[in-house]
Structure 1
Amino acid sequence: MSISSFVKTIQDIMRNDAGVNGDAQRIEQLSWILFLKVYDDREKVWEIRDEKYQSIIPEKYKWRNWAIDDKDGDSLTGDDLLQFVNSELLPTLKKLDVDENTPIHKEIVRATFEDTNNYMKNGVLLRKVLNVVSEVDFNDPEERHLFNDIYEKILKDLQSAGNAGEYYTPRAATDFIAEVLEPKLGERMADFACGTGGFLTSTLKLLEQQVDSVEGKEKYNHTVYGIEKKGQPYLLAVTNLLIHGIDDPDIMHGNSLERKVTEYKEKEKFDLIMMNPPFGGSELPLIKMNFPSDLQSSETADLFMSVIMYRLKENGRAGVIVPDGFLFGTDNAKVNIKKKMLTEFNLHTVIRLPHSVFAPYTGIHTNILFFEKTQPTSETWFYRLDMPEGYKNFSKTKPMKSEHFNPVREWWKNREAITIDGFDKAKSYTPAEIGKNNYSLDLCGFPQEEEIILEPQELMTSYINERTELNQKIDRVLTEIQEMLEGEK
């Protein structure tokens, strides 16, 4: 079955179900169904490798024993199927027994289903969805490769599914950052807000080419690590890694900011960190106390930058997407974070990205910071990546592509200052020069405000998200004022 046919068939079935409301719920519904199918296919492999293998899923609730239609008239459907899923299957998976000795590949089943719901109300339609998914054999290399593309399409659909778009970073960006950082087998890579696992799989795609032995496969299986706070993207990320052949997806369901950054031990640090930290949001005052007083901030992007610096190994490398607000912000926390980065790390490159990279989820301008824990910064190169010729903006139908990074690739190998029409497109600055600029990294920016033209639906989504971001900013400022007033009492 082709990519478009698979996705369209399932979408058409679900649209006829009164219980599924919109793309976000359709994707969430499909996500847990796909997880169980993928997990069952992986378990068949584990059973062959180890005849003593014991599944954490009770026999009755394995995909092979309830979801497959043998065309014998005995398969669950209609109200019987709904009763089974709602009253037996999901409650059982939510309460599976796990402890500190439970292997990761078993523990993830319970963690995956903690926040999972069945939205479908028509058992006949649910049976049709199960039959379509059952057609894919995830142990067949050709079908698994095809499904990687299908899954990518499903993840892209998140961008137009309301706030779910925040979990998806354009694949062109994740692939470019992984390419620049050049992961090697034996190194450990992390994303502390991994969303659907884009950076993890971009890393795996590069490492897959380096696997040429059993030992190499074992290293590959334990290369990437992720943490995701929200249930839906966590489920998607775990499934994503299973599809990529990772037997023990090392992804935690939790908040990376809930631990004191000064407590991390060497074994909890990483050779590579790639991230697109959540930005525009805010954390509770209690979370800020996990950071040194000079680095405390209510802005999530600021806090994640601190986490990254504390969890990067000696000689480690990082590629991080940040909003413009981090670059030119001059409040105490932002200034101190940038000082720390320049004095304790080598911030060697800042790539200014064109607008609408994340459209329609957000129109905020973004940038990529590349830095290493090797030596203090001696110079920082800035490069402005302009909108490709023929594009006025990126959109769902015209997303950013890998080739759009080609100008950066060409410049990266032979760096030189570039000035166009009197404006700097590429230039290096010393830490002293940046310090004189009050540690603003708003350099080699775009000479004028770029025109953003979106389709009506994308424009509406963009306005809704901008309003949400503004409300979050107002709430954050009000919280800070309240804290100041309480401190004066």
Structure 2
Amino acid sequence: MAKRRQAADAPVTTAQKLGALLKSARDIMRKDKGLNGDLDRLPLLTWLMFLKFLDDHEQTAETKAVLARKPYTPTIEAPYRWRDWGANDALTGDELLAFVSAEKTILPKVAGSDGVKEGPGLIPYLRKLSGSNDPKRQVVGEVFGGVINRMESGFLLRQIVIKVNDIHFGSSDEIHTLGHLYESMLKEMRDAAGDSGEFYTPRAVVKFMVAALNPRLGEAVLDPACGTGGFLVEAFAHLEQQARKGKAEDIKRLQVGSIFGQEAKPLPYMLCQMNLLLHGLDAPAIDKGNSLEKKITDITDAERVDVILTNPPFGGEEEDAIKNNFPAERQTKETALLFLQLIMRKLKMPPKPGRAAVVVPNGTLFGDGVCGRIKTDLLKNFNLHTIVRLPNGVFAPYTSIPTNILFFDRSGPTTDVWYYELPLPEGRKQYTKTSPLQFEEFAGCLAWWPAREENDRAWKVPAAELLANGCNLDRKNPRAKADMEHLPPEQLVESILAKEARIAALMGEIKELLAEGAK
């Protein structure tokens, strides 16, 4: 009994409290007929938390301005601030739904206001902020550009708002904990997304790529297809460890000019903003739109960056207008190849050459034509120093396509390309959703990285040899057993035909033996 009482009296941790709060909010959302799965629930929870987060920060900033006797202009005006409607429990049911979504509605009363006022609802008001000259208001307007409230019950919505109101974004402990919880929710959304699983790159792959590139404080890090911000969050955490506590110069470097991204889809764009805010980046510099929309030859030195970390979409196709932004001899509709060209162009040139880590499908390694010309440029004008070959199932169950990570920089032409083949754990045939790749499995590669020698998993190929063979980068491990997964298509066909011929021969021999036995 004493042990049970002690457990019951144990203090509730921040993680437990916030975890229970978020679970409770999601349980309430499941009761609403307008929401269809986590792909609807997480965005709703995100924009509610975003507004609560923003208002908590605004109140802190406003208090500081008053104490310093300085004027303060809020990003969101009354009565659209969270404190005006989110903390007002009397606003519920149909009135709450109208206030949130209607183009014109009765507005909540705030202290000092007289009479009943009409105006645009919350979401229409927030959308109009995108036309503001104020950068913070523009971000808010862009975030809410694609937001739609799908909840049908204003009473259930009020219950969720009450839960979110209990999150204290003024507490660094709560923000840090919520950041981790939010990442787990993003992973769940990826799992719920099915064919739309482009939201999430496995955390182990992200951590490895950041650790291998090792961005330094003062460098600009870019993800041109940032999704929900996994690479940028990890890069920010990596840079944050380098900032000296109490050093205003380091904090400014970290917060301004370090992290940049761009995302075309409204939902991942909003999720990315929230993800970065929760991890401590005060004003995320994330552009909304397709990174491929700008003519590649118009990219200037000022737009180039030190580090690019990305897993651009592959398997998709772009429209002709996008294709025409690239040189005639390198035009293609294949998204992965267009992004690869963009990344090459966006890296800083010597004397401080930029560097990149990019996830690509196997097809990029053995492709010819336009793909071959892009790889020729990569070998001749960039230093493609490493290709990490990932094992099967890293992105399962959303794609079974084998994937690789290209590491290159702009220090000069390639001399040798190092390959490192990441093995599957002993006894495993592939990864799955329930048994994913772990960061610890990259330990051998990271230990090998600074002092490279050929071994059972690592080998190098001269760039001259690759160029002489049509830039086919799909090279097998010379010390490994035959592996069908990484063979080029023509070798796959030959191998399959040879095996079928052997099987036919064996069947013929068996038939003859059976015939002799029957005599």
- Pick the TM interval, shorter chain: 0.7 to 0.9
The one-letter amino acid paired with 2:75 is I
Is the deviation greater in 158-167 or in 272-281? 158-167
CA contact (8 A) 1:13 1:128 kept: yes
Rounded Cα–Cα distance in structure 2 between residues aligned with 1:391 and 1:79: 54
Deviation of 1:273 after TM superposition, in Å, equals: 0.6
Match of 1:295 in 2: 330
Rounded Cα–Cα distance in structure 1 between residues aligned with 2:459 and 2:190: 34
CA contact (8 A) 2:296 2:345 kept: yes
Is the deviation greater in 46-55 or in 143-152? 46-55
- Residue 320 of structure 1 aligns to a residue whose secondary structure is strand
1:367–1:131: structure 2 CA closer, same or farther, 3 Å change rule? same
Is the deviation greater in 430-439 or in 303-312? 430-439
Match of 1:327 in 2: 365
Match of 2:74 in 1: 55
The one-letter amino acid paired with 2:137 is K
CA contact (8 A) 1:272 1:318 kept: yes
The one-letter amino acid paired with 1:37 is K
- Residue 61 of structure 1 aligns to a residue whose secondary structure is coil
User: Within 5 A, what are the aligned runs for 1:156-235?
Assistant: 156-162=187-193, 163-212=195-244, 213-222=247-256, 223-235=258-270
Match of 1:432 in 2: 464
Are 2:432 and 1:395 equivalent residues in the alignment?
yes
Are 2:165 and 1:134 equivalent residues in the alignment?
yes
Match of 1:27 in 2: 42
Deviation of 1:390 after TM superposition, in Å, equals: 4.9
1:43–1:362: structure 2 CA closer, same or farther, 3 Å change rule? farther
User: Within 5 A, what are the aligned runs for 1:312-391?
Assistant: 312-314=347-349, 315-330=353-368, 332-391=369-428
1:183–1:279: structure 2 CA closer, same or farther, 3 Å change rule? same
Rounded Cα–Cα distance in structure 2 between residues aligned with 1:400 and 1:377: 30
1:405–1:48: structure 2 CA closer, same or farther, 3 Å change rule? farther
Superposition TM-score, scaled by structure 2 size: 0.81
Match of 1:453 in 2: none
Rounded Cα–Cα distance in structure 1 between residues aligned with 2:211 and 2:56: 31
Match of 1:98 in 2: 131
CA contact (8 A) 2:130 2:139 kept: no
The one-letter amino acid paired with 1:309 is M
Deviation of 1:168 after TM superposition, in Å, equals: 1.1
Q: Determine what percentage of the aligned residue pairs are the same residue.
A: 44
Deviation of 1:198 after TM superposition, in Å, equals: 0.8
Match of 1:416 in 2: 453
Match of 1:482 in 2: none
Which residue, out of 253, 268, 272, partners 1:237? 272
1:48–1:441: structure 2 CA closer, same or farther, 3 Å change rule? farther
- Residue 399 of structure 1 aligns to a residue whose secondary structure is coil
CA contact (8 A) 2:419 2:459 kept: yes
Superposition TM-score, scaled by structure 1 size: 0.86
1:161-188 CA distance string (max 9 Å, x none): 2244202111211111111111111111
Which residue, out of 67, 83, 91, partners 1:76? 91
Is the deviation greater in 409-418 or in 242-251? 409-418
1:77–1:259: structure 2 CA closer, same or farther, 3 Å change rule? same
CA contact (8 A) 1:383 1:444 kept: no
Deviation of 1:21 after TM superposition, in Å, equals: 0.8
Match of 2:28 in 1: 13
Are 2:141 and 1:113 equivalent residues in the alignment?
no
Rounded Cα–Cα distance in structure 1 between residues aligned with 2:426 and 2:271: 34
CA contact (8 A) 2:129 2:137 kept: no
Rounded Cα–Cα distance in structure 2 between residues aligned with 1:46 and 1:245: 16
1:145–1:18: structure 2 CA closer, same or farther, 3 Å change rule? same
CA contact (8 A) 2:206 2:234 kept: yes
- Residue 449 of structure 2 aligns to a residue whose secondary structure is helix
Rounded Cα–Cα distance in structure 2 between residues aligned with 1:10 and 1:364: 37
Which residue, out of 78, 81, 86, partners 1:67? 86
Deviation of 1:291 after TM superposition, in Å, equals: 0.5
Unaligned runs of 5+ in 1: 420-424, 451-489
Rounded Cα–Cα distance in structure 1 between residues aligned with 2:333 and 2:234: 30
Rounded Cα–Cα distance in structure 2 between residues aligned with 1:47 and 1:241: 22
1:27-70 CA distance string (max 9 Å, x none): 2222211221222223233324444231232211111211125x
Deviation of 1:122 after TM superposition, in Å, equals: 1.1
Deviation of 1:151 after TM superposition, in Å, equals: 0.7
- Residue 129 of structure 2 aligns to a residue whose secondary structure is coil
Rounded Cα–Cα distance in structure 1 between residues aligned with 2:383 and 2:181: 39
Which residue, out of 22, 40, 46, partners 2:55? 40
Are 2:338 and 1:307 equivalent residues in the alignment?
no
Which residue, out of 175, 186, 189, partners 1:155? 186
Deviation of 1:4 after TM superposition, in Å, equals: 4.4
Rounded Cα–Cα distance in structure 1 between residues aligned with 2:292 and 2:285: 18
Match of 1:462 in 2: none
Rounded Cα–Cα distance in structure 2 between residues aligned with 1:344 and 1:375: 6
| Larger RCO: 1 or 2 (CA < 8 Å, sep 6+) | 1
Rounded Cα–Cα distance in structure 2 between residues aligned with 1:37 and 1:192: 28
Rounded Cα–Cα distance in structure 1 between residues aligned with 2:173 and 2:408: 38
Rounded Cα–Cα distance in structure 1 between residues aligned with 2:333 and 2:216: 35
Rounded Cα–Cα distance in structure 1 between residues aligned with 2:220 and 2:74: 28
The one-letter amino acid paired with 1:98 is G
Task: Look at both structures and tell me which one has the larger radius of gyration over its CA atoms.
Answer: 2
The one-letter amino acid paired with 1:76 is L
Match of 2:489 in 1: none
Rounded Cα–Cα distance in structure 2 between residues aligned with 1:128 and 1:449: 55
The one-letter amino acid paired with 1:5 is A
Rounded Cα–Cα distance in structure 2 between residues aligned with 1:116 and 1:368: 34
CA RMSD of aligned residues (A): 1.7
1:41–1:358: structure 2 CA closer, same or farther, 3 Å change rule? farther
Rounded Cα–Cα distance in structure 2 between residues aligned with 1:34 and 1:67: 11
The one-letter amino acid paired with 1:57 is I
Rounded Cα–Cα distance in structure 2 between residues aligned with 1:107 and 1:248: 11
1:101-137 CA distance string (max 9 Å, x none): 422x321100001111111111121112112222211
Deviation of 1:448 after TM superposition, in Å, equals: 2.8
Rounded Cα–Cα distance in structure 2 between residues aligned with 1:393 and 1:354: 7
Q: State the aligned residue count.
A: 438
Deviation of 1:325 after TM superposition, in Å, equals: 1.1
Rounded Cα–Cα distance in structure 2 between residues aligned with 1:114 and 1:412: 44
The one-letter amino acid paired with 2:215 is P
Rounded Cα–Cα distance in structure 2 between residues aligned with 1:150 and 1:195: 18
Is the deviation greater in 162-171 or in 380-389? 162-171
